[in-house]
Amino acid sequence: MHIAVIGTGYIGLVTGTCFAEFGVEVTCIDVDEPKIAMLNEGNIPIYEPGLEDMVRRNMKAGRLHFTTDVKAGVERALVVFIGVGTPSRDDGTHDMTYAEQAARSIGEAMNGYKVIVMKSTVPVGTGVWLKGILSEYVSEDMFDIASNPEFLREGQAIGDSMRPDRVVIGTDSEQARAILRDLYRPLYLIETPIVFTNVATSELIKYASNAFLSMKITFINEMANICEKIGGDVHVVAKAMGLDGRIGPKFLRAGVGYGGSCFPKDNSALVHMAMELGAPTKLVEAVIEVNDNQMYRGFEKAKEALGGSVEGKVIGLLGLAFKPETDDFRAAPSEVIVNNIRKEGGTVQAFDPEGMAQARQKLGDEGITYCDNPYDAIRGADIMVVVTEWNVFRLLDLERVHGLLKDPIIVDLRNIYEPAAVRGLGFKYDCVGRGI
């Protein structure tokens, strides 16, 4: 089978590459010419562990192609995935401009029956909208539409794509269902549950899943804040809660709030959608508010540790990407922290193993120095603040850190250190929800 993937970002590139790995002929299409040129040279534009090797291997095998020519890619394909960005508009709804452009470019390239699959996260009702657009170009018997939301996590994208917990496919067409079942056959063979449903339900499943996961994070952050007041330990609270099979241990790590390209924008879109439908999601509204507060709380913790003001202080900040193992800076908590530090007269020395370029694009150079390694970021700083839990920060030589900081203060917003051990080295140490 030959498939095309429109949009070669985090999702499109991983999806296309993993299908190629399963032996499918894949053409990845993007409007971004430099990105496609880079990929055609075997270099990938994002940081995702293991992806570059897999891209090169499949290009070499002749199964994975990159082009800006939609027509050429779509004409050969039986299944066309749309994986373009659906960013937030100012009002919280999804901006469907790229999705519409992609749909229209498919419409123009239609040369026979195809299944058009929406992989981007899109509002409920998009299936009907997509069908309407395609019908402007070809008759309805020339295509079927399907929703196939993506659940992979950046940083673990390959594992999540090749061995997902489940695949969700929403379509009203028997033919499309059969074609997609065949395409996902390699996952059937490893007994991956495949949930077939209608388009609207499939579209909602993506929002429901993200909202629930972000609610777990937010919930444990609130428990962390209580722990700080009562001398409790949120690690133990999370462990004990997680041992209850009905709750489960995942996504119960207290920290500085969730960020990234999905949870924030998808929750906003869900709230908006639910309001329009007359079925408001008060819980998700609260999750958004509590998460915003938690990110600000991260800044406040640094400020408190510095005696109540960041003015004239230098903050050694470890971690810019919204989470480890990615270079993605979209909606990263570090942005809130850096901007508040700068607003209140402090400066930042920052280091991130992969996220510096994207962060620099968004944050600029005023009041922030981008350093080559964690020790340079700490050198001469008034405080060290851990914002992203990269493994490399876990094993820092804390005695060296002690010598490099102006004052030995650590604010650990990801709980990567043991409080007693760090304090034992002579640091003033604060973390999240470990009032021990």
- 27: tokens are 């053409």
Q: How many residues bind ligand NAD (CB under 6 A)?
A: 27
Residue 411 — φ and ψ, nearest 5°?
Answer: -115, 115
Q: Which is nearer to ligand NAD, 8 or 415 (CB)?
A: 8
Distances (CA, A) of 169 to 94, 150, 178: 21, 10, 11
Q: Which of 4-12, 55-63, 372-380, 421-429 is the region at the interface with ligand NAD (rule: CB under 6 A)? A: 4-12
CA dihedral 398, 399, 405, 411 (to 10 degrees): 30
The least CB distance from residue 421 to ligand NAD, in Å, is 34
Residue identified by tokens 């969730």 is 258
Q: Is 208 in the site for ligand NAD (CB under 6 A)?
A: no
Q: Which of 64, 80, 102, 332 binds ligand NAD (CB under 6 A)?
A: 102
Among 27, 58, 86, 225, binds ligand NAD (CB under 6 A): 86
Q: Which is nearer to ligand NAD, 30 or 382 (CB)?
A: 30
Site for ligand NAD in 253-292 (CB under 6 A): 261-262
Q: Is 262 tagged catalytic?
A: yes
Which one, 152 or 318, has the nearer CB to ligand NAD?
A: 152
Binding ligand NAD (rule: CB under 6 A), the pick from 3, 4, 5, 8 is 8
| Cα distance between residue 344 and residue 283, in whole Å | 32
327 binds ligand NAD (CB under 6 A): no
Phi, psi values for residue 396, rounded to 5°: -60, 150
Query: Smallest distance from the beta carbon of 120 to ligand NAD, in angstroms?
Result: 3
- Of 146, 109, 121, 150, whose CA–CA distance to 131 is shortest? 146
Helices (H) and strands (E) in the chain, counts: 19, 14
* Cβ 235 to ligand NAD shortest distance, Å: 27
> Cβ of residue 15: shortest distance to ligand NAD, in angstroms?
9
Classify 231 as helix, strand or coil.
Answer: coil
Catalytic residue among 18, 262, 371, 431: 262
Instruction: Tell me the C-alpha distance between 187 and 164, whole Å.
Output: 8
The CB-of-186 to ligand NAD minimum distance in angstroms stands at 20
Q: If binding is defined by CB under 6 A, does position 310 make contact with ligand NAD?
A: no
Candidates 18, 44, 81, 83; binder of ligand NAD (CB under 6 A) is 83
State the nearest-atom distance from the C-beta of 85 to ligand NAD, in Å.
4
C-alpha span between 368 and 149 (Å, rounded): 38
Which one, 333 or 433, has the nearer CB to ligand NAD? 333
Distances in Å between the Cα of 410 and the Cα atoms of 142, 370, 380, 407, 435 are 61, 19, 13, 9, 15
Torsions phi, psi of 136, nearest 5? -70, -20
Q: Kindly state the smallest distance separating residue 99's Cβ from ligand NAD, in Å.
A: 8
Residues 106, 268: Cα–Cα separation, whole Å: 29
Q: Which residue of 17, 27, 58, 120 would you call a contact of ligand NAD, by CB under 6 A?
A: 120
Print the binding letters for residues 17-36 with ligand NAD: x by CB under 6 A, - otherwise: ------------xxxx--x-
287 is written with which tokens?
């999750």
* Distance (Å, whole) CA 162 – CA 139: 35
Report the phi/psi class of residue 111: left, alpha or beta, with left for phi > 0 and alpha for psi in -120 to 50: alpha
20 exposed, middle or buried (CB, 10 Å; 0-12, 13-18, 19+)?
buried
73 binds ligand NAD per the rule CB under 6 A: no
Q: Does 197 bind ligand NAD (CB under 6 A)?
A: no
Question: What would the x/- binding string for ligand NAD be over residues 35 to 54, using CB under 6 A?
Answer: x-------------------
Contact 173, 164 (CB under 8 A): no
141 residue type, one letter: D
Residue 203 found at the interface with ligand NAD (CB under 6 A): no
Q: Which is nearer to ligand NAD, 10 or 427 (CB)?
A: 10
Cβ(313)–Cβ(319) below 8 Å: no
Tell me the C-alpha distance between 405 and 387, whole Å.
17
Give the x-and-dash track for 138-157 against ligand NAD (CB under 6 A). ------------x-x-x---
**Is the CB of 100 or the CB of 376 nearer to ligand NAD?**
100
Which residue has tokens 């800076």? 329
Out of 10, 66, 299, 329, the residue judged to bind ligand NAD by CB under 6 A: 10
The residues binding ligand NAD (CB under 6 A) are 6-12, 29-32, 35, 83-86, 98, 101-102, 105, 120-121, 150, 152, 154, 261-262
Residues forming the active site: 262
